[in-house]
Amino acid sequence: MLRHEHLFEGKPCADPFIIAAAKFIDGCVVTEESKKPNSPNIPNVCEHFNIDCTNLQGFMEREGWKF
């Protein structure tokens, strides 16, 4: 979520840009946030804009990482 306080204080706010980049390149957003009803969390926004989204565990499984 882009918070105005972060913009005014010069704090980082990359979430909207990561989501936009994923939409632009038809990519996937990897986040540890979880979906919450009526929330601007990353998974909710990705779902709204039909962008693939997963957590780190899901990403590693998709990529076939083994340890």
pLDDT given at position 11:
63
DSSP for 4-60, please give it: HHHHHHT----HHHHHHHHHHHT-EEE-S----TT---HHHHHHHTT-EEE-HHHHH
pLDDT given at position 3:
63
pLDDT in tens, 1-48: 556 666 566 666 778 899 999 999 999 999 999 999 988 889 999 999
**pTM of the predicted model as reported, rounded to 2 decimal places:** 0.78
